Amino acid sequence: MIDVKYIRENKKEVENGIKAKGFKVDIDSVLELDGKRGVLRKQIEELNAERKKNAETKNIETGKKIKEKIAKLENDEKILDEKIYDILRKLPNLPLPEVPVGKDEIENVVLREVGEKPKFNFPADILPLSKTLEKNHLEADAFQVFAGGLELIRAGYLDYNEDEMYHLEKDDLYLIGTSEQAIAAMHMNEILEAKKLPLRYAGFSSCFRREAGSYGKDTKGILRVHQFDKIEMFSFFEPENSKKEHEFLLSMEEKLMQALQIPYRVLQMCTGDLGFQAANKYDIEAWLPGQNQYRETHSTSNDTEFQSRRLNIKYKNLKTGKNEFVHTLNGTAFAIGRMIIAIMENYQQKDGVVKIPTVLEGYIK
């Protein structure tokens, strides 16, 4: 959520940032409501001062009338608060200055490519390869079950939004799309101690998203599914150091890919592909020889104070002595299903066997 004061003082910047993300929002309406709220607040303060003076004269009737006026104005103010909040919660986070401007994923910037792509004269993607191994049956659309030694792994990955969440109507609960949602709320309405920052968490969870295999894309296999398992990293950080933390999360993701010796590339998302809450975002895409293309396996986002403002998560700034909003950041450690695809395709052998990455050999018996 964006601070309405910041919007008022930086209207053009906010308008340009929202436009660069591809959203259309009426900024003038929230500023008009905020102006009315300011007038009400001034009237309430004046009446409170008047009530204080009246208390000295002990005029009960006048005091009663002032109290009634204040109550009415405070109710009007509450209504305006709700209207302003309703608009603010629909505003996307603003992109940081270093984010490249672009309309969609086509204009994302490739920062680097790492690793040597394997060359096969027998490339197979995961479907025929898995049939050869007789380990999995992956033909079903969106939901899948692993067999053999993979029973406990249900995986995949895709982008999501509010409309893509599963709602349990009977219980009025939602199935999470990522453990980020649960971790972010762990410190809701808290003031964190500066000396304890940063707070870094890792969460493993099953994730549920509605839009899977849609529009004819990835309709078979485990690349894009409704239910999958994912390990997520999450950080609560001081604002002045959040950019460094973002680079740290990216470096952790790269170390995991390098340990598996899977070729990959790093992209910086352009403004039009940042999504709703990210101020800056990187993606890692693994090379899939069976598809002869890179596919997303990781992402990491700096959401600045966008989440913490809504969740009311602050820290005591020792320099200013004020309680200020922390920055929140998140990053994928592993989206299990997609990493299985990357391993199977990059480590396949001519006879249909899949080699185990060296770093995993000690875990396979």
Of 88, 119, 143, at which residue does a domain stop?
88
311 against 177, higher pLDDT: 311
pLDDT tens for 183-198 read 888 899 999 999 999 9
Whether 55 and 142 map to the same domain: the answer is no
Binding residues for L-serine: 178, 209, 232, 330
The answer as to whether 11 is a domain residue is yes
The answer as to whether 54 is a domain residue is yes
Element (H, E) at 174: strand 173-175
Region 330-338: mean pLDDT is: 90
Element (H, E) at 113: strand 109-114
Return the ∠ at Cα 27 (arms to 23 and 72), rounded to 5°. Answer: 130
Average pLDDT score, the chain: 84
Whether 44 and 139 map to the same domain: the answer is no
The answer as to whether 255 is a domain residue is yes
| Structure confidence at residue 166 (pLDDT) | 73
Q: How far apart are alpha carbons 307 and 75 in whole angstroms?
A: 27
Cβ atoms of 293 and 129 within 8 Å: the answer is no
The answer as to whether 335 is a domain residue is yes
Q: How far apart are alpha carbons 280 and 94 in whole angstroms?
A: 9
- Give me the CATH number covering residue 18: 1.10.287.40
Region 56-65: mean pLDDT is: 82
Whether 236 and 283 map to the same domain: the answer is yes
The answer as to whether 93 is a domain residue is no
pLDDT of 331 strictly over 80: yes
Region 47-75: mean pLDDT is: 87
The answer as to whether 180 is a domain residue is yes
Whether 33 and 126 map to the same domain: the answer is no
| Structure confidence at residue 161 (pLDDT) | 54
- Give me the CATH number covering residue 244: 3.30.930.10
Whether 244 and 288 map to the same domain: the answer is yes
Whether 238 and 159 map to the same domain: the answer is yes
pLDDT tens for 3-23 read 999 999 999 999 999 999 999
Whether 45 and 128 map to the same domain: the answer is no
Of 53, 88, 123, at which residue does a domain stop?
88
| Structure confidence at residue 143 (pLDDT) | 45
The answer as to whether 99 is a domain residue is no
Q: How far apart are alpha carbons 15 and 25 in whole angstroms?
A: 8
Whether 82 and 140 map to the same domain: the answer is no
State the pLDDT confidence band at 159, using cuts at 50, 70 and 90. very low
Region 264-288: mean pLDDT is: 96
DSSP single-letter state for residue 208: E
The answer as to whether 98 is a domain residue is no
Q: What Å distances lie between residue 323 and 9, 188, 241, 308, 318, CA to CA?
A: 21, 14, 17, 12, 9
Q: Which residues pair with 235 in a beta bridge?
A: 200, 329
pTM: 0.83
pLDDT tens for 128-146 read 665 655 555 444 444 444 4
Of 58, 88, 118, at which residue does a domain stop?
88
Residue-number span of the structural domain to which 69 is assigned:
4-88
3 state DSSP class of 357: coil
Looking at beta carbons, which pairs linking 74-77 to residues 24 or more positions away fall under 8 Å? 74/44, 76/40, 77/37, 77/40, 77/41, 77/44
**Within 10 Å of residue 167's Cβ, how many Cβ atoms?**
11
Binding residues for ATP: 209-211, 225-228, 296-299
Whether 82 and 114 map to the same domain: the answer is no
For residues 66-88, one letter each, b for 16 or more C-beta atoms within 10 angstroms of the residue's C-beta and e for the rest, the string is beeebeebeeebeebeebbeebb
Please tell me whether the peptide bond between 100 and the residue prior to it is cis, using omega within 30 degrees of 0: no
Instruction: Quote the tokens at residue 324.
Output: 């200020």
Looking at the structure of the chain, the number of domains it has is 2
**Within 10 Å of residue 32's Cβ, how many Cβ atoms?**
12
Binding residues: 178, 209-211, 225-228, 232, 296-299, 330
| Structure confidence at residue 148 (pLDDT) | 40
Query: Phi first, then psi: what are they for 59, rounded to 5°?
Result: -85, 100
pLDDT tens for 231-252 read 999 999 999 999 999 999 999 9
| Structure confidence at residue 205 (pLDDT) | 82
DSSP single-letter state for residue 8: H
21 against 56, higher pLDDT: 21
Whether 186 and 220 map to the same domain: the answer is yes
Whether 164 and 50 map to the same domain: the answer is no
Whether 68 and 163 map to the same domain: the answer is no
